[in-house]
Amino acid sequence: MDLFNTEYANKRRRGAFLAAVHAMQGAGILLGSAVALVVSAVVPEPDYVWRAILMAGAVPAALAFYLRSKLPETARYTALVARDPKRAATDMSGLLGASIQQQEETTNASVVGVDDEWGLFSFHFLKSHGLDLLATSSAWFLLDLTYYSQSILQKDLLGKLGWVSASPAATMDAVQEVSRLARAQALIALCGAIPGYWFAVALIDVLGRRRLQLAGFLVMTLSMLALAALYDHWTAHVAGFAALYNLAFFFANLGPNTTTFVAPAELFPARLRCTCHGVAAAAGRAGAVLGTFGFFPKKGADAAGIGTRNELFVLAGTNFLGMLMTLFVPETSGASLEVLSKEVVYEVVDVIPYN
Distance CA 267, CA 276 (A): 9
Residue 12 — φ and ψ, nearest 5°? -75, -35
Does 263 score more than 80 pLDDT?
yes
Average pLDDT over residues 177-189: 84
Rounded to an integer, what distance in angstroms lies between the CA atom of residue 271 and that of residue 337?
12
Give 161's contacts (C-beta < 8 A, 6+ positions apart). 184, 238, 242
* Interval 79-103: pLDDT, tens: 777 777 788 777 777 766 667 766 6
Compute the distance between CA of residue 222 and CA of residue 224 in angstroms, rounded to an integer.
5
Contact 325, 135 (CB under 8 A): yes
Write the DSSP symbol of residue 57. Answer: T
Which of the four pLDDT bands, split at 50, 70 and 90, describes residue 75?
confident
Contact 214, 54 (CB under 8 A): no
Quick one: average pLDDT of 171-175? 73
How do residues 218-234 score in pLDDT, each as one tens digit?
Answer: 999 999 999 889 988 88
What is the average per-residue pLDDT within 66-75? 83
Determine the 3-state secondary structure of 344 from DSSP: strand
* 70-74, 242-246, 336-340: range with lowest mean pLDDT: 70-74
pLDDT reported for residue 71: 80
Residue 346 has pLDDT above 60, yes or no: no
What residues contact residue 54 under an 8 Å CB cut-off, 6+ apart?
Answer: none
Helix (H, G, I), strand (E, B) or coil at 113: strand
Burial of 7 (0-12, 13-18, 19+ CB in 10 A): middle
Q: Angle at the Cα of 138 (from 134 to 142), degrees rounded to 5?
A: 175
pTM reported for the whole predicted model: 0.82
pLDDT at 2: 64
User: Across the chain, how many H-helices and E-strands are there?
Assistant: 18, 0
pLDDT, position 279 = 96
Burial class (CB in 10 A: 0-12, 13-18, 19+), 116: middle
Higher-pLDDT residue of 288 and 120 is 288
